[in-house]
Amino acid sequence: MSDDELKELVTRALFEVAPDLEGEAIEPEESFRDQFEIDSMDLLNFIIRLHEATGVDIPEKDYSQLTTLSGCVSYLGARLKAD
C-alpha cells in the first residue's frame, strides 16, 4: 500500500470515528488530540478501525506511534511490509 493510500485510509478511519471533523485539514506532524481534541476512547476506536481496515495487529504499547497522520502512515507502512 502506498503512502498516499495509507493517508487516505487513516483519514477515512479518523472521520468514521469523529464524523464532525470531516473536511478538516489534517496537519501530518501534529497530534490528533491537539488538532481535534480527540479523547482516549475516540483514539481507541480509531486504532480498532485501522486494524479492521488493514488487518495489522496493533499492540497497546504501539498506540503512541499512531497519534499523528505521519506516524500512522509510517507505522502501518512498516507493518504491512513486514507481514
Q: Encode pLDDT of 2-56 as tens digits.
A: 999 999 999 999 999 988 888 889 999 999 999 998 888 999 999 999 999 999 9
The CATH number of residue 23's host domain is 1.10.1200.10
Cα angle for residues 35, 37, 80 (degrees, 5° grid): 65
Which H or E run contains 9? helix 3-17
Per the structure, the complete domain to which residue 62 belongs is given by 3-82
Instruction: Supply 20's cell numbers.
Output: 464532525
Which residue in 55, 49, 63 sits closest to 83, CA to CA?
55
Question: How many Å from the N-terminal Cα to the C-terminal Cα in the chain?
Answer: 12
Cα angle for residues 63, 37, 51 (degrees, 5° grid): 30
For CA atoms 54, 22, 39, 72, the dihedral sign is positive
Q: Encode pLDDT of 57-81 as tens digits.
A: 999 999 999 999 999 999 999 999 9
